[in-house]
Structure 1
């Protein structure tokens, strides 16, 4: 944790051979004058600090013994310039050069350093994350035949891959992912890199099929072809001819075929990623003998059908299983042994029946069961989800009450129970989920009031979904040894993030959006819409200052909109529509600078709308429709002085309406009107004998009609009663 600026006092250390200040908090510029005086320098590592500004590689011109240089910038503010100045000839012979995220040659054209032409002893080269462009530097592979590790990932190299290689028997790790390479993967790739163990060609624009010759790379341990435009079927040689293959990533391509229905020998594979392709067919049950090392299986976003085989639940080392968005059905298999999952996602399929009771929940952190056909209540044994971060059971046919023990899952960040048949009230125990960021109980049959204690959900205090940089500590070939240091270790980012990113669906701004990975540490929302909740909106919800989405629409809520909602400083979407809310729209809400969607339509709101300024100037009349007593822009109803003054509604939020009247006066007026009418009718009959006679005839006729109606009805009833007893 050392900090401060780079010290000039180091320039007196002319005998210094190893200089390592990596993984600290040093700031400022790297002074060329200091580096120039370190004439005995062999090893230098300034990685993972906060250096910034320009550093010229020619500062090492006097370091004739230099073998290892490692500059890995974390803040992206360091600019390393390697273009040779006039008259500069590098005298050193590098064996390891790591310049990652250093804005390499940004000021004079982002090109590969030309001095590498003379570094024939170079064994490790990492120039990743630098926006280097142009055609792939073929000369780099041709001239540096000693190269064992090359990482040029996340640059802008283009061109046809088939021209990029020359024979290199020393190459062990080769990574050109995240570039603009095109063309096919060479059919005779095994001739160019016969001994490669790590091959990463992902995130380019390669097309065509996978050559079966990849199966001849007998030393291959890690193969990543994901995020390309490859098609066709996967060669069986990848599963049968590579005895050392541990990691296979074919995600996000256009592969098809029944890749898992074959009886393949892939016992050695540790992580298998087949997601986001067009694979079909069933998952073979005969694969049960090949589960010895399988720890991760991701086949999501394909077209697999049938049942999940039992061997998946018996796989003792299988900790991450993702089969999301396929056409799998039936019940989840329960074998003789339960796999200790940490990540289980079987959402968006056709699984049915009760939630499986055989799941081992001891280590489970992410559980996704949504968009299936599960029925019944939430099992009691879910109280063992003590490590759970995500619990997603939305869009099923679950019923019963929401268990109180869910509030005891103190680590829970995401709780999705939407669109089920849960009834009764919202348990107050959910207020104990103080670390929760997303809670969705919408689309159920919940009743009662909203617990005011939901204010206790203050949101996460630390990140769990963010992909933190992990480092591989590996010994570079022992180029330098001394009595003080046996060998050096360079800490550098792993070439591949192997963990699966969590993903949930949450409705915000009237859209059902998928949130994945890092953003789940930032996103915060509460959705209680489409239930039968009653009562006032608790003012305490205004204390959820971290929340981005609040949806209470389509309930039976009453009372005013709390003024404390003006404290929701981060709110982006506020939906209170289709309730029975009364009173004014608080003018204080106009201070919500992040508010993008505001909907209070179809309530009983009245009075003048807040002034159209800041965010409120962006809301249209659709945000307020269905409230006939509202007035002011953007509505067409204009607020007159009389209508405004006739609204005696108090500013303290009482529910008194302008159209309430004095009921005593109302009844008195009705009684007086009736008495005057009857008095006029009697006077008319008194002064006019003809109308008096007509009135008496009408009365007499009505009496006879009533008499004969009652007589005939009684006679028929008597005859019916008599016939029934006969």
Structure 2
């Protein structure tokens, strides 16, 4: 084997300290000029070739990342006398500080994402030569020790202690680190006011990261005014506050990156920004401030490429800098109060914008045609304003890079899309909540990569075009709340469609083959239309279907058994139709499966945040709500109300242990309320009213989340549930219309005698433990026969015995005479007839 003696770098990964591969470590002594040694992804146990390592006197850099070693093996590396650079990231061991003390000349130490002892920060000061110390993600906890440890590293240039569990205030001794240029203590739990912290004395800082802590930071940044070298300051997700009295001073720093986003009231717009000329990135999101949009901030900083000022309470009108700004790439000034038109030359002023968000600003007037000058614009969001007019054709033709176009919730009119369109890169087109009219233009088909089309809540009419099936990348289609009519074309959506929303239109006819072969379908909302005939059998061929809403149509027939094949069902609404037949027990098992599993395991839900943001209307707690976004993953409901379903409620209903809404009201269901209802531990709304249920109400007082409960207008009997927990909140309306129910909150007492309702022989078998029930059919027959026998017996006696017969008629005549004189004596004179 030939040995290159002047080798300067050697990388030995995935070897062992014993066995066949150990021979490679024995050869280390053959490289006397080695400067860099990498032994990452290895496992070391015990002393490892101390003699060979001792010969490597020239090694300055050692990499042990992602390795496993014990204390003895780590001490073996202590024989490297001139080691300056040591990297042990993600070490598979708890590193003892004693072993590190052998490295007297160490300058660079990286222990990121390794596990360290709690006393590490106390003893690290003994390695006084350190200049760079990286301790990110090392599970450090508690307070930084005062006077010792870190505070002794006076030569330190860079310190990273981010992503730990460090707490308390910063010790004043950190002021000793006068050479520190980069400090990162983000993602901890530090507290205290920055104005009285040692950070104000570290004037050598170039980069300071304080994000995701509990610091109080003045928006004036007065504590850092003497930091002439400071260029990068990240303080987001702390508490920003306004200074009471700010001296008229000019900061010595010229920042390039500034992030104060998070929360707080900043008072007036910070004055120090007037003196900044080198800013490249500024984020003041969600800091409440007074004043107009600071257009001068853009004009003063010619290299500014990102400016985020959303939700800053800025007032209008919206002005732009005098000269165009060619570097600005991202501009987000959404959710302010400009209440003015969009400057007509905005496209000329910012020709190289990639991202522009002006949503939620009360903007008025037309959309400027100069947007067409932004050939590099990728995302444009003008939603939630008061814009009017039409979509300018220049916008659609000129913005050749446009990926997202969001114009939702304005007063835009005319056709939803110009006839000429250059939108080959367009992925999302959201035009919902406007005043668009006409039909869906064929020009949308030019958007060959369109993934999401939302034109809901407009005044579109006509039939739904069948050419939508040619939009092969379409995943979400929302045409709801318009005036579309006619029947659905056969297979009109592409096979890969995931979400379809057609509710609140005037569509009619059978569903036939409209969605045949859409195996990826997750959401199907066809509610509030005029669809007829049966629910097609192909409904069971959507294995990923989670949300099925067919309510408020004219569907007939039985609920198809194919629904039982849908193991991901979470929300089902078949209400307000003319469905008949029995409740399918298997639906309960299918509907509950997705709730039993971890919702996050659905890769489509987890990886596609753009989806599942369309609203779904569902009635819960007797009120119709719109659910959207991530909340849909936690809603489970079944609504079969207002149909013609018959038969018993299956006991399998108790399998829906995670369901929150169950509405079976306004049907013709019979029999008993299943005892298994007591298993519905997460139920919030349960409505069984207006059916023909009988028997007793089972024990349901352990349903602690129940907010709406109704069994009104049935044939239930016995005592109402005890007035405890949630049932103490239900009033008479929850039980009314059941003449044989008694107990609070009803006024009828259970101690008064009453006629019991009819209960079938089969019901009596199901509830033998509840005691005997009266057969009402037998009662009525026996009562009529007994009444007839009494009358016949009296007639026979009067006919046989003349004395009793004369006495009977005499008693009747005497009674009539007494009644007459009683009326004459007591009735008012003005009612008497003369």
TM-score range, shorter chain: 0.7 to 0.9
Distance 1:128 1:662, change over 3 A: closer
> Does the 8 A contact of 1:38 with 1:63 survive in 2?
yes
Task: Please give the secondary structure, in 2, of the residue aligned with 1:161.
Answer: coil
Deviation at 1:662, TM superposition (A): 6.2
Moved more, 629-638 or 203-212: 629-638
Aligned-partner Cα distance in 2 for 1:653–1:427: 35
2:714 aligned partner: 603
2:266 to 110, 118, 122: 110
Where do residues 171-190 of structure 1 align in structure 2 (5 Å cutoff)?
Answer: 171-190=328-347
Is 1:446 aligned with 2:596? Answer: no
**What's the offset of the Cα at 1:667?**
7.8
Candidates 544, 550, 554, aligned match of 2:662 = 550
Larger radius of gyration: 2
Question: Which stretch shows the higher mean deviation, 609-618 or 655-664?
Answer: 655-664
2:734 corresponds to 1:629: no
- TM-superposed CA distance for 1:664, in Å, is 9.2
Shifted more, 592-601 versus 136-145: the winner is 136-145
* 1:531 aligns with one of 623, 633, 643: 643
Structure 2 CA distance, aligned partners of 1:376 and 1:454?
26
Deviations 1:249-277 (A, max 9, x none): 22111112235253344445443322211
Given that 1:418 and 1:444 are in contact with CA atoms closer than 8 Å, whether structure 2 keeps it comes out as no
Q: Which residue of 1 aligns with 2:485?
A: 350
Query: Is the alpha carbon distance of 1:228 and 1:59 closer, same or farther for their aligned partners in structure 2, counting shifts above 3 Å?
Result: farther
1:489 is matched with which residue? none
Q: Is the 8 A contact 1:583 1:655 kept in 2?
A: no
Q: Secondary structure at the match of 1:252?
A: coil
Closer/same/farther in 2, CA of residues 406 and 216 from structure 1, 3 Å limit: closer
> In 1, distance between residues paired with 2:730 and 2:703?
13
1:578 to 673, 682, 690: 690
Distance in structure 1 (CA, Å) of the matches to 2:409 and 2:385:
7
* C-alpha contact (below 8 Å) 1:400/1:421 kept by paired residues: no
Corresponding position of 2:362: 205
Deviation at 1:447, TM superposition (A): 0.9
Q: 1:594 aligns with which of 705, 727, 730?
A: 705
Answer whether contact 2:480 2:503 (CA < 8 A) is retained: no
Unaligned runs of 5+ in 1: 328-348, 471-496, 689-726
- C-alpha spacing 1:10/1:426, structure 2 compared with 1 (3 Å): farther
Would the aligned equivalents of 2:543 and 2:567 in 1 still touch at CA under 8 Å?
Answer: yes
Match of 1:364? 497
Q: Note the C-alpha offset of 1:171.
A: 1.8
Aligned CA distance change for structure 1 residues 312 and 107 (closer, same or farther; 3 Å): farther
Sort the Cα spacing of 1:106 and 1:39 in 2 relative to 1 into closer, same or farther, 3 A.
same
Query: What CA distance in whole angstroms lies between the structure 1 residues aligned with 2:646 and 2:395?
Result: 60
Cα distance change of structure 1 residues 97 and 466 upon mapping to structure 2, 3 Å threshold = farther
Contact 1:11 1:33 in 2 (8 A): no
1:232 to 385, 389, 408: 389
Q: Within the alignment, does 1:373 sit opposite 2:507 as a pair?
A: yes
Given candidates 420, 426, 437, the residue that maps to 2:570 is 437
| Counterpart residue number, 1:509 | 621
Counterpart-to-counterpart distance in 2, 1:646 and 1:424: 32
The CA distance in 2 between the partners of 1:161 and 1:130, in whole Å, is 19
Aligned to 1:253: 410
TM-aligned CA deviation for residue 613 of structure 1: 4.6
- Mark the CA change 1:398 to 1:412 in structure 2 (over 3 Å): closer, same or farther: same
Aligned twin of 2:545: 412
Aligned Cα root-mean-square deviation (Å): 4.3
**Length-normalised TM-score, structure 1:** 0.74
Deviation of 1:517 after TM superposition, in Å, equals: 1.6
Structure 2 unaligned blocks of 5 or more: 1-112, 114-136, 245-264, 806-834
**Pairwise mapping of residues 287-366 of structure 1 onto structure 2 (< 5 A)?**
288=445, 290-308=446-464, 312-327=468-483, 349-353=484-488, 356-357=490-491, 359-361=493-495, 363-366=496-499
Matching residue within 42, 56, 59 for 2:194:
56
Structure-2 change in CA distance of 1:4 and 1:441 (3 Å)? farther
1:79–1:105 contact (8 Å) kept in structure 2: no
Q: Offset at 1:103? A: 3.1
Paired position in structure 2 for 1:341: none
CA distance in 2, matches of 1:468, 1:19: 35
Q: The residue matched to 1:615 in structure 2 has which SS?
A: helix
Deviations 1:173-225 (A, max 9, x none): 11111223332222333564344332221122222222333334444333221
| Conservation of the 8 A alpha-carbon contact between 2:382 and 2:407 | yes
1:546 CA displacement: 1.9
Q: Bigger CA drift: 55-64 or 202-211?
A: 55-64
Task: Answer whether contact 2:403 2:426 (CA < 8 A) is retained.
Answer: yes
Equivalence for 1:285: 442
1:149 is displaced (CA, Å) by 0.9
CA contact 2:486–2:509 (8 Å) conserved in 1: no
SS at match of 2:709: strand
Which sits farther off after the overlay, 369-378 or 535-544? 369-378
The answer as to 2:237 corresponding to 1:101 is yes
Superposed counterparts of 1:105-184, under 5 Å: 105=241, 109-111=265-267, 114-138=271-295, 140-162=297-319, 168-184=325-341
1:656 and 2:773 matched = yes
Check whether the contact 1:452–1:538 (CA below 8 A) recurs between aligned residues: no
User: Matches of 2:553 and 2:172 in 1, distance apart?
Assistant: 69
Q: In the TM superposition, what whole-angstrom CA distance separates every residue of 1:130-149 from its partner, at most 9, and x where no partner exists?
A: 44555444554354343211
Q: Secondary structure at the match of 1:391?
A: strand
Larger mean CA deviation between 127-136 and 248-257 belongs to 127-136
Q: Which has the higher contact order (CA 8 A, sep 6+)?
A: 1
CA–CA separation in structure 2 for the residues paired with 1:415 and 1:220? 37
Q: Distance in 2 between matches of 1:212 and 1:526?
A: 49
SS of the residue 1:181 aligns to: coil
Match for residue 461 of structure 1 among 598, 608, 615: 598
Superposed counterparts of 1:381-400, under 5 Å = 382=516, 384-394=517-527, 395-400=529-534
TM-score in terms of structure 2 length: 0.65
CA–CA distance in structure 2, aligned partners of residues 431 and 655 of structure 1: 37
Residues in 2 aligned to 1:44 and 1:467: alpha-carbon distance in whole angstroms? 38
C-alpha distance in structure 1 between counterparts of 2:386 and 2:176, whole Å: 51
Supply the distance in 1 between the matched residues of 2:167 and 2:300 (Cα, whole angstroms): 36
List per-residue Cα deviations over 1:3-48 (Å, max 9, x = no partner): 45377465566666566666x564645746587566555555666x
Is contact 2:391-2:418 (8 Å) kept?
Answer: no
Kept in 2, the 8 Å contact 1:545–1:567? The answer is yes
Secondary structure of 2:599's aligned partner: coil
- Map of 1:696 onto structure 2: none
Task: Say if 2:158 and 2:183, in contact at 8 Å, map to a contact too.
Answer: yes
Selected match of 1:616 from 702, 727, 736: 727
On the 8 A contact 1:428/1:451 being kept in 2, the answer is no
SS of the aligned residue for 1:157 comes to: coil
Cα distance in structure 2, aligned partners of 1:568 and 1:627: 24
**C-alpha offsets along residues 560-582 of structure 1, whole Å, 9 cap, x if unaligned?**
33344344333222111111112
CA distance in 2, matches of 1:444, 1:54: 65
How far apart in 2 are the matches of 1:469 and 1:140? 37
Q: What's the offset of the Cα at 1:374?
A: 4.7
- Checking the alignment, whether the CA contact within 8 Å between 1:271 and 1:294 is kept in structure 2 is yes
1:610-664 superposed Cα distances (whole Å, 9 cap, x missing partner): 3445433443333222222223444343444445999999784578249676689
Distance 1:81 1:356 in 2: 62
How far apart, in 2, do the equivalents of 1:25 and 1:391 lie? 45
How far apart in 2 are the matches of 1:19 and 1:352? 67
- Are the aligned partners of 1:466 and 1:521 in contact in 2 as well (CA < 8 Å)? no
